[in-house]
Structure 1
Amino acid sequence: MNSKPSPQPTALVLLTEQEKKEFLPPDLESRLRELFPDLIWIEAPVQEDEWHRVLREQKPEIVLCAWETPTLPIEATEHLKYVCFLCGSIRKLVPRELIERGLSVTNWGSSISNTVAECSLLLILAALRRVGNWSVAMRTKGEWKTSRHPDTLSLFGRRVGLHGLGAISCELVKLLEPFRVQISAFSPSVPDQIYNDLNIRRCETLEDLFATSDVLVELAPGKPDNYHIVGDDLLKLLPEQAVFVNLGRGMVVDEDALVRASRERGLHIALDVYETEPLPVDSPLRSLDNITLLPHLGGPTPDRRRDCGELALQNLENYLNDKPLINLIDLNTYDRAT
């Protein structure tokens, strides 16, 4: 006797037209609709009360969504089993209690590592070539170099230090290969085999990493133990003419110490993340000469957001086939998110 096929789970998509265009271009949308012939598609943005009503009435088992999705209400999600989030931090979308109750949640995870690494390389080169200084000086002050010996540096042959050796750092190592740099890293939980495979030196202390890095790239996770771990003591260890780049988490760095290092030692800085975002208009960082600033642009550019859509489709297929989900958010990951 043949058993009945399992009913197709109800899937609901909530995206703006722009999010749909970037994350799910036509070829990916077609694949999604093949997976879920009865897909419920709602255009964002929606008001919170409307969102609650839709969840209560449609009772979706799966929600696929992005930035413009209101917070999931605990009282209207008893049927929800999986949230496939196309973007990064899920703190504003998913209450912690839902993770505790067993809701499965995934995000873009490592699918953006290559584009963040690309932005890291951009900021490294910008800091070494003093792009922040010259861009402002030439546009607002009419300046030009005064000699044939400008205060600029090349990346070739430099010592690069990575604070953190996760997926982004591993992608950055690949991008740095043509520059013949010497790479060190401090990431105590990463096994020796990964250091060996990447051909980089393990630093046993942060002090060693900072003291031996001409280029220090901050990519440490935003966990409580790392709050303001980079302060005056570490920044003073950076060699003369070193540059400091942060694309990790703003809370890891004491920004007041960064300002002091720039003003007192001429440290060149390049930042894409900040402790408070948007960066306050009166932040001292905005007034520094030796700095390149980006407004948290390190994630996937619109043309590469389809990478996140492809990962989401893989996860949806895995869910339907009872296979492990990629980049599953557990409570530890949730608590570390910003």
Structure 2
Amino acid sequence: MSPETRDAVFGGESLARIAALAEVDTDVLVTDFGAPDPVLRRMLAEAEVLVTGWGCPPLDRAALRRMPRLEAVVHAAGSVKHHITGACWERDIQVSTAAAANALPVAEYTVAAILFANKRVLEGAHAYRRSRQRVNLLDGFPTVGNFRRTVGLVGASRIGRRVIELLRPFDVRILVHDPYLSARDARELGVEQSGLDSLVSRSDVVSLHAPELPATRRMFDAARLSLMPDGATLINTARGSLVDTDALTKEVRTGRLHAVLDHTEPEVLPADSPLFDLPNVLLTPHLAGSIGGELHRLADSAADELERYTQGLTFRHRVDPDALHHSA
């Protein structure tokens, strides 16, 4: 992993716990599996488990040849697609991810965004700031609130399912579109399955939790955005590529739709993008995922998985290579 990742994610307590579970030098970081350093080459040759994070280089065949004893990779972050290659699965290397831990703050952000969107908090704050006096709520906000609102979730992912769980205390109807969600799972989750266009046209808030795949690229284009009811809100904490940025910009500039965007395409918008200044758009800098103290949850997850490995148990959050084609 990168030095920045180690310093941000792994505090002294988690490093001490890992050191108690395995023979490890917690000061050694690998940022290049091909580095000529003889000490590093010797350590890689002896490695049985790698603890990885953001900034890990690809574990391709050349890298794996330097690690003949490698049995497992414990990833202290979400997606493993950036560094786990087909060569890992050919070697039958076990891979664990902390995606479940990283899903928690994203789901919390999403639920806050849903509740604030239906309550029109951002719009109300702007109105109050402009007037600097009492706002006539009955006239200005006659239809706000979360009571009996419809929330549409695109993707029953780890994050999507956590959002469903966190929304249970609220009087909202939840629609879900996910081609991999079974009718039985939908019943157990207490949600209504829906086709995507039907979900979009019936929801007061649409929240995206689908992975970045060729099939999901710009799934929210001009035609699909036009199906959203007037005054509806689009929330994107997934990937910017799921939304046609130009099409969304045109919609929100009219004031017809609202948006909460933690991901955009490009990831950093041009400085002159209207999305920065529109009163009906909340734009955040990839803030929903684990940051600050939340990062230590990822370290705890990695340590938990390493402990299971030392006990001969299977990983609790083992990555299934057959599921990677439809997951993040």
Distance (whole Å) between structure 2 residues aligned to residue 269 and residue 287 of structure 1:
12
What do the CA deviations read for 1:22-75 (whole angstroms, capped 9, x no partner)?
44451x333322211x31222558677658655422122212132244555743
What do the CA deviations read for 1:282-324 (whole angstroms, capped 9, x no partner)?
4443243310011111112322323222221232233334432
Compute the TM-score of the two structures, normalised by the length of structure 1. 0.81
- Structure 1 pair 274–17 and aligned structure 2 pair: CA distance change class (3 A): closer
SS of 1:288's equivalent?
coil
Cα root mean square deviation, aligned: 3.1
- Structure 1 pair 336–43 and aligned structure 2 pair: CA distance change class (3 A): farther
Conserved 8 A contact 1:246-1:271: yes
Q: Does 1:291 align with 2:281?
A: yes
Question: Which segments of 5 or more consecutive residues in structure 1 lack a partner in the other structure?
Answer: 1-13
Conserved 8 A contact 2:208-2:236: yes
- How far 1:190 sits from its partner (Å)? 0.9
Q: Does 1:171 align with 2:162?
A: yes
Q: Which amino acid aligns with 1:194?
A: D
Q: Does 1:40 align with 2:25?
A: yes
Distance (whole Å) between structure 2 residues aligned to residue 135 and residue 16 of structure 1:
40
Q: Does 1:85 align with 2:75?
A: yes
Q: What are the equivalent positions in structure 2 for 1:180-219 lying under 5 Å apart?
A: 180-203=171-194, 205-219=195-209
Distance (whole Å) between structure 1 residues aligned to residue 122 and residue 235 of structure 2:
13
- Structure 1 pair 221–18 and aligned structure 2 pair: CA distance change class (3 A): closer
Q: Which amino acid aligns with 2:62?
A: E
Compute the TM-score of the two structures, normalised by the length of structure 2. 0.83
- How far 1:332 sits from its partner (Å)? 5.2
Distance (whole Å) between structure 1 residues aligned to residue 124 and residue 271 of structure 2:
21
What do the CA deviations read for 1:68-115 (whole angstroms, capped 9, x no partner)?
445557434322332212112334444554444444332212122221
Moved more, 212-221 or 40-49: 40-49
Q: Which amino acid aligns with 1:113?
A: A
Q: What are the equivalent positions in structure 2 for 1:129-140 lying under 5 Å apart?
A: 129-132=119-122
- Structure 1 pair 247–166 and aligned structure 2 pair: CA distance change class (3 A): same
- The alignment-based identity, stated in percent, is 28
Moved more, 101-110 or 143-152: 143-152
Distance (whole Å) between structure 1 residues aligned to residue 36 and residue 110 of structure 2:
37
| Corresponding residue for residue 107 of structure 1 | 97
Distance (whole Å) between structure 1 residues aligned to residue 4 and residue 259 of structure 2:
37
What do the CA deviations read for 1:108-146 (whole angstroms, capped 9, x no partner)?
12122221110101222343444555667888xx65478
| Corresponding residue for residue 4 of structure 1 | none
| Corresponding residue for residue 300 of structure 1 | 290
Q: Which amino acid aligns with 2:183?
A: D
Distance (whole Å) between structure 2 residues aligned to residue 245 and residue 214 of structure 1:
11
SS of 1:217's equivalent?
strand
- Structure 1 pair 144–44 and aligned structure 2 pair: CA distance change class (3 A): farther
Q: Which amino acid aligns with 1:198?
A: L
- Structure 1 pair 17–249 and aligned structure 2 pair: CA distance change class (3 A): closer
Conserved 8 A contact 1:16-1:45: no
- How far 1:18 sits from its partner (Å)? 6.9
- Structure 1 pair 53–153 and aligned structure 2 pair: CA distance change class (3 A): farther
Moved more, 183-192 or 74-83: 74-83
| Corresponding residue for residue 62 of structure 2 | 75
- How far 1:171 sits from its partner (Å)? 1.3
- Structure 1 pair 97–146 and aligned structure 2 pair: CA distance change class (3 A): farther
SS of 1:170's equivalent?
helix
Distance (whole Å) between structure 1 residues aligned to residue 41 and residue 289 of structure 2:
33
Distance (whole Å) between structure 1 residues aligned to residue 74 and residue 208 of structure 2:
29
What do the CA deviations read for 1:172-197 (whole angstroms, capped 9, x no partner)?
12222232111111112111122112
| Corresponding residue for residue 158 of structure 1 | 149
Q: How many residues align?
A: 320
Equivalent in 279, 282, 289 of residue 269 of structure 2 = 279
Moved more, 122-131 or 181-190: 122-131
